Amino acid sequence: MEKELDAVSTLLEEPKRPCVYSLGGSKVEDKIPVIENILAREKADKILLGGVPAKLFLRATEIKTKINDEEIHDFKQFLDRATKLTQKYGDHIEVPLDLAYEDEQGKRVDQPVNSPHVEEEALDIGSKTLEKYSRIVRGAATTVANGPLGVFERNGFDKGTKELLESMAKSNGYTVIGGGHLVGLASIQGIEERFSHVSTAGGAMLSLLSGQSLPGVDALVRAANRMRTANPPA
């Protein structure tokens, strides 16, 4: 626990710059607060978006990428928050240039995000986006990743997540990955030990990055203070 808290505290206090975050997965409700907190505290230089968060922010920029609104609880609220973040911190937030879809033969096809011919839901970031994201990661002094950039369980649509992890693993900077999907994928790739820190905290890591306190940690601090009061140094 101490190692985990030290790693996250480093990110929130004085991360080496440039500091880059890669945020994906299917839950926007735990990624939006992180984005709000780290940008307000000026602790991130770039945020690379994939998965459902990328689709939400594309919609916030009025790009009509297909997204299942019903999968996001209180969709309008999160869309409003994404829109405000884009307006205030647009230079720091990177959304995909292209997205990957499955064609009628079940093969991967990349299309620009504003393509009018796509009616299916995107399954991964596209190759041009991956090239741009990887270049940003290679130039970063600190990189934090949480959540896959696409539906990595589908054959051919794990490319974005796998190659971004590879770029992080080759980086000379401080690298942190979190979330069961990313950690599991890094283990399958055999690169898990090449990251500076592999978080096993799951949602607790995101809670800390979003500025929340952790009840378990707060209880330990209170207990330590009680012990010091009851047993003052001689």
Quickly count: other Cβ atoms within 10 Å of residue 22's Cβ.
29
Mean pLDDT of 197-211: 87
The sign of the CA dihedral 184, 207, 93, 95 is positive
The confidence score (pLDDT) of residue 106 equals 86
* 3 state DSSP class of 209: helix
Mean pLDDT of 178-198: 94
Confidence of residue 68 (pLDDT cuts 50, 70, 90): low
pLDDT score of 92 more than 90: yes
For 31-50, write each residue's pLDDT tens digit.
Answer: 999 999 999 999 999 999 99
* Chain centre to alpha carbon of residue 81: 17
Q: 2-230: CATH homologous superfamily?
A: Phosphoglycerate kinase, N-terminal domain (3.40.50.1260)
Domain limits, the chain? 2-230
Answer whether 168's CB lies under 8 Å from 143's CB. yes
**How many Cα neighbours within 13 Å face the side chain of 171?**
28
> What amino acid is encoded at 17 in this protein?
R
What whole-number percentage of the chain has pLDDT above 70?
92
Q: What letters, b where the CB count within 10 A reaches 16 and e where it falls short, cover 25-51?
A: bebbebbbbbbbbbbeeebbbbbbbbb
d(CA 181, CA 158): 11
* pTM of this structure: 0.90
3-state secondary structure 5-54: HHHHHHHHHCCCCCEEEEECCCCCCCCHHHHHHHHHCCCCCEEEECHHHH
Q: Could you tell me the two tokens for 123?
A: 């399954």
Closest CA to 126 of 110, 115, 137: 110
Q: Could you tell me the two tokens for 185?
A: 């994928």
The confidence score (pLDDT) of residue 225 equals 78
pLDDT score of 227 more than 80: no
Mean pLDDT of 58-70: 78
Closest CA to 141 of 169, 174, 170: 174
The confidence score (pLDDT) of residue 228 equals 77
